[in-house]
A and B are shown apart, each in its own frame.
Chain A
Amino acid sequence: MEIQLLFKIAAIGILVAVLHQVLCRAGRDDQAMMVALSGIVIVLAMVVKEISNLFHTVKTLFNL
């Protein structure tokens, strides 16, 4: 139960959104796409850890 993780993901999302907007306005659409992609990969790495935690809990609880 770490609410910090939720805020971290939200902060990364806002940062990526702002960078995406700035780079789009500057006419660098390819770099904007790359920024969005890297943000998604970073957050996905965090989310996967949490999901594996959930699956581990389910496995031990229901002895799957």
Chain B
Amino acid sequence: MEITKIIGIALVGVCTSLFLKQYQPEFAIFISLVCGCMILVYVFHKLSFIVNLLKSLASRIDLNEDFLVILLKATGIAYVTEFACNTCRDAGETAIASKVELAGRVLIASMAIPIITTLVEMMQKLIPASN
């Protein structure tokens, strides 16, 4: 029962952060940050099995290795961005949160450029009239 551990950590974090918010609001942010870090690290250890499964499945079929790497990178950027964004929003800094979100989107889009160019090349091959 690993979910009980995570729920326990989350509830303890919520209680302590709620208590500290009245006296020292800065420490409430720290508590939520550490709580989120712990849960994410725990979840990522479990997620590594799924990633390994995906990699082994991709090696079985004839899939370009670069595309899977780009997909994984985009997922990682999305997770980390979401974490930072939610922390900023918890602290009441919606402006910074939206900038972080924008940065994550732009980075993922710039990373997907090779996939997009491959797609365009494939479309050009499929439509002979475009040449």
Contacts and interface: CB of A to CB of B under 8 A. Distances in A.
Given A1-B38, A36-B26, A62-B77, 13 more contacts: A9-B31, A10-B16, A10-B20, A14-B20, A14-B23, A16-B27, A47-B33, A54-B37, A57-B41, A61-B51, A62-B73, A64-B76, A64-B77
A34 interface: no
B79 interface: yes
Contacts of B42: 1
Given A57-B41, A64-B73, A13 B80 contact: no
B31 A13 contact: yes
B73 A6 contact: no
A44 B27 CA distance: 9
Contact of A63 (B30, B69, B80): B69
Contacts of A59: 76
Interface in A1-43: 1-3, 5-7, 9-10, 12-14, 16-17, 20-21, 36, 39-40, 43
Contacts of B37: 47, 50-51, 53-54
Contact of B72 (A10, A50, A63): A63
Q: Which 5 A-B pairs have the closest CB atoms?
A: A62-B76, A13-B27, A17-B23, A10-B16, A50-B37
The range of chain B's interface size is: 35 or more
Overall SS of chain B's interface: helix
Contact of A13 (B8, B23, B83): B23
B34 A9 contact: yes
Interface in B3-60: 5, 8-9, 12-13, 16, 19-20, 23-24, 26-28, 30-31, 33-35, 37-38, 40-42, 44-45, 47-48, 51
B75 interface: yes
